[in-house]
Every structure is written in structure tokens, then in C-alpha cells.
Structure 1
Amino acid sequence: MDPQDIREDPAGAATDVSALRKTVVEFEEDIADGLTGGYYDLGTDLNLNAIAIGMGLANIKYDPETFPAIVYHLDDGRPTVIIFEDGHLSVIDADSADAVQEAVTITAERMGELGLYQGDAPVEDDIAVTEIDA
């Protein structure tokens, strides 16, 4: 999977957590070694430029010319959430299913607080969790 593949099929990239993890490493972004990931569809398009600025550049890597999504590290440094323009969130490097669900919820809430996402809070049963192939 390369950045062009992600541009053409962000939903596919969000659900293919193992391949996405490898692409993020190729994007020269440090990630931890958690073996659990997941994804969730917010159901709306997002303004990635506004999100990158609003959520704090210290925890974000965003270079749309190189990689068409935001790489967002939660404050504790783990897990990492990949935010796609089409509203898909993909979680990599989590240690558990609970960590995946918490990362999705925290990310959606932060975007909501900034007025950048007006949808409902994620429902735990709708957050897909998967094991990442190491």
C-alpha cells in the first residue's frame, strides 16, 4: 500500500490496519509496537487542515503531498490514530481492544470540542478491532 493507494481508497486503507501500519512507518513516523488495531467510520468528510491545526501540531504529522491522512499521537504517545478526509479513523499500535476503543472515542470527542466533527459519539460495538500482523 502506498500513498496513492490510500488516496484512491481511504476506506480500504483504514480497514487494512497491517498494511497501513507499514505505510506509516515508511512515512518516517515513529510508532510503538502494539499488536492491536482497529477502525471506525465517522460517516462524514473531515477538514484535515483544520484538524491538524486545532488538535495541536505537537501530536500531529500531516503532509498531504506525501501521505493523505493525519497521523495523530494521543497525549500519552500510544496508540496512534490515522485520520482520513473521508471520516475513517484507523488505530495502530494499541495494546488492547479497550485501547483502540478509547483512542477512537477520544479522537472523535476532541474533534467535536473543536467544532470539527458534529456527529454522534462512537458506539463501542461499531468500532472494529483487529490484531496486527507483526
Structure 2
Amino acid sequence: MAEFEIANVVGMVAYQQEFDLSALAETFEQRPEINSVTYEPAENHWLQTRFAPDDTYVPFYRNGKCSIAGATSPEHFEKIVRQVNTLMRELLEFDYEPTAEIKNIVATAELDSLPSLEAIAIGLGLEQTEYEPEQFPALIYRGEDAVILIFASGKIVCTGLTDLDLISSAIDEITDQIETLAVS
């Protein structure tokens, strides 16, 4: 099983009502569980907040949704969801359970060694890879469900999946393919 670190867990929470972002911004400014509040409707159509204690980014949208970015694990995501829902339930006085869903987990891993990114692009197949070093410093591999960035330093970034076992499998698969290319 591949060793990887979670860099970011991103998800959404959906409430069954629209938000008055201006009123929420005023209320949020008085709340100790929120570190910062930014609402500038001329520049952005969302209300930006950071929740204590770890400064997790939670933007709120007029359509009654908020996203959570910067969670360090699925468990941390769920903890932030509970924290946001507790606050919103107190402010909006609803009795339903809002829908929360992880949309993406970004994970990183390290390769011990690798051939050149050009060789990897050819070996993995040009129809599944993009490598334009003048545009972006990593090779982009588009697998069945995941997108994997491979940097010349040996760092791998896996994105597009929401399940830790699938992330591990995707990283194992790409690592095995790269090791096979290095041997041949």
C-alpha cells in the first residue's frame, strides 16, 4: 500500500435555504469560533470566513451552500462540518441535517527515483499524459478517475478522488508503472 500524506480535503455543505450574506457577515464578525470574515460583494459573490482553532477556510454562498477547504483528513472535514452546522443551526434555527460531502482529496507521495519526465510521458502513453515544462513544471497523468502530477523532484500529487483506498491504489499503480519504466 502506498504511503501518502493528505494535503487537503475539500467538500461542500448544503443547507435548504438561501443565505443573506451581508447579515451573516455581520453576525460572524461577533463570533469567537470565526477568526476572520471578508465580504466584499463588488469583488466576490461569496462570504469568506476562517474557522478557529486551525483557520480552516469556509466560504459561504448565497445559494445556501458553503465549502470547506484545508481539512487535513476526512475526520477533520467532518469535525469542521459539525462546527459549522452547530453555528448555522443556532443562527438559522433549522432542524434538518444539512448534506455534507467530500468532493476532493489531494494527496502527496514521494518516488525514490524516476526516469526523465519525457520518458515517463512516452512510457505512460501520450494520450493520457501532458508534459509541457514551459507551461507547467509537472507531468500531468490523467488516469481513469484521478489526475496525478509528477514532478522532476519525485513528488507526486494525486487529486480527483474522495476515497483513501482509491488514492492509495492510484498512487501504487502509477508508482509501479514508473518503476517498470525505470528498469526498461
Q: Which amino acid aligns with 1:100?
A: F
Q: 1:80 aligns with which of 54, 57, 61?
A: 57
Q: Distance in 1 between matches of 2:95 and 2:40?
A: 26
Residue aligning to 1:4: none
Alignment of 1:1-134 (within 5 A): 34-56=7-29, 59-114=36-91, 116=92, 118-122=94-98, 126-129=99-102, 130-132=104-106, 133=159
After superposition, the C-alpha distances for 1:40-85 in whole angstroms (9 at most, x for unaligned) are: 2112101111111111165211111111111111121332111111
RMSD: 2.2
Cα–Cα, structure 1 residues 118 and 39, in superposed 2: closer, same or farther, change >3 Å?
A: same
TM-score normalised by L of structure 2? 0.47
Identity of aligned residues (%): 18
Structure 1 unmatched ranges of 5 or more = 1-32
Q: Distance in 1 between matches of 2:41 and 2:20?
A: 12
Q: Distance in 1 between matches of 2:77 and 2:88?
A: 17
1:36/1:92 contact within 8 Å kept: yes
Q: Which amino acid aligns with 2:65?
A: H
Structure 2 unmatched ranges of 5 or more = 1-5, 107-158, 160-184
TM-score normalised by L of structure 1? 0.62
Q: Distance in 1 between matches of 2:87 and 2:21?
A: 14
Q: Which has the larger radius of gyration?
A: 2
1:36/1:97 contact within 8 Å kept: yes
Q: Which amino acid aligns with 1:56?
A: E
Q: 1:100: how far off?
A: 1.6
Q: How many residue pairs get matched?
A: 97
Q: Distance in 2 between matches of 1:56 and 1:120?
A: 25
1:40/1:104 contact within 8 Å kept: yes
Higher helix share: 1
